[in-house]
Amino acid sequence: MDFELTEDQRAFADTAHQFAQTELAPHAAQWDAEAIFPRETIAKAGELGFCGLYAPECIGGLQLPRLDATLVFEELAAVDPSTTAFITIHNMATWMLGTWGTDEVRAEWGEALTSGQRLASYCLTEPGSGSDAASIKTRAELQGNEYVINGGKAFISGAGATDVLVLMARTGDGQSGAAGISAFAVPANLPGIHYGKKEEKMGWNSQPTRQISFDNVRIPANHLLGHEGEGFKIAMKGLDGGRINIATCSVGAAQGALGHAQRYMQERKQFGKPIASFQALQFKLADMATELVAARQMVRLAASRLDAGARDASTYCAMAKRFATDAGFNIVNEALQLHGGYGYIREYPLERLLRDARVHQILEGTNEIMRVIIGRRMLDGDAPDVIR
């Protein structure tokens, strides 16, 4: 068991750190305040390979292990969790298209996505289908050599500003459940696709979120990803990695917040001395650091399990997502508290980090659903000995 990073892994992390400081840090507050979606900056990230970190090499991806991808995402999220989170979603959708897409779909979209010149959204959630993802109602019916899509999606990151939608739709009858769901690559500008208003959100303001409606949208049959009925399996495989990604964004936000808090404690004086001299605040910093290291190691363990194709990888991904997003939010909140009133104003980045990190406990499966996944597995007879 080796906890040390390799030379290549450190190089990826260092490159991401430098990119975050030069390309994200100077603009993150403005993007948040003015709800700017920084496509040009995301394209620059694509030039470094950050838009196709674990996508297949056949479409121009780096095909890195998920563990290596977490190193990049953490460094970016320490500065700008919102923009980083969109980059992780784009990575997930790009990986799905590259892994299950037909040759025609890969040729059209693959390298454009891994380079960041085109962007992808992931479309699973519906207005009436959140945690119960198998109950989606959006339909795709095969008519000749085309699928005709009708229905709607909700809370779609990047909607209205991206170029292709990785869409989950029902191809089976209404009683088919998860087995009746298929996955598709849908060009985002087709006739019949309509985008709702941009949602006004607590955080994640550097990426648009909208509803999408589909009214007799026609796509070629070869835009099916995998085979009919495989969509739910594809979606869940995507979400295993997505849960690691969003957990990593929480670790990154917490790391950024911890750094700000440590520096502030040494600079801020009260009662004639730096507040870093007060033991009660030292203890608070100690607990934050301890929880952050624990969260980071939980995420990296889950990523390693997923890379290895372990039987219980999904359980570990759920554990990492639940633990890291809860811990990450708490660490950012404590960092804000250490800043006192200054933490609450926008001159400092703490309130932005806090707002961005909060949604991580909800998306990619709520933390309550993560507990359901973990709890069901822990009721199996071998679980206490296997899940360790």
Residues that are catalytic = 364
Q: How far apart are CA 39 and CA 197, in angstroms?
A: 19
Which two tokens mark 377?
């597995």
DSSP letters of 210-263?
Answer: EEEEEEEEEEEGGGEESSTT-HHHHHHHHHHHHHHHHHHHHHHHHHHHHHHHHH
* Dihedral angle sign, alpha carbons of residues 243, 245, 246, 250: positive
Packing angle, helices 7-19 and 66-77, rounded to 10 = 30
Give the residue from 97, 104, 103 showing the smallest Cα distance to 51: 97
Strand, coil or helix: 35:
coil
Residue 223: count other Cβ atoms within 10 Å of its Cβ: 23
Beta bridge partner(s), residue 122: 166
Listed residue (338, 354, 329, 327) closest to 284, CA to CA: 338
Contact 275, 268 (CB under 8 A): yes
What the block records as the tokens of 330 is 């708490």
- Taking the C-alpha atoms of residue 257 and residue 337, their distance in angstroms, rounded to an integer, is 11
Contacts of residue 113, Cβ cutoff 8 Å, sequence gap at least 6? 51, 52, 55, 59, 90, 93, 94, 97, 98, 119, 120, 164
105/171 Cα distance (integer angstroms): 20
**Under 8 Å CB-to-CB from 283, ≥6 apart: which residues?**
none
- Per DSSP bridges, beta strands 164-170 and 120-123 are parallel
The whole-angstrom separation of Cα 91 and Cα 284 is: 35
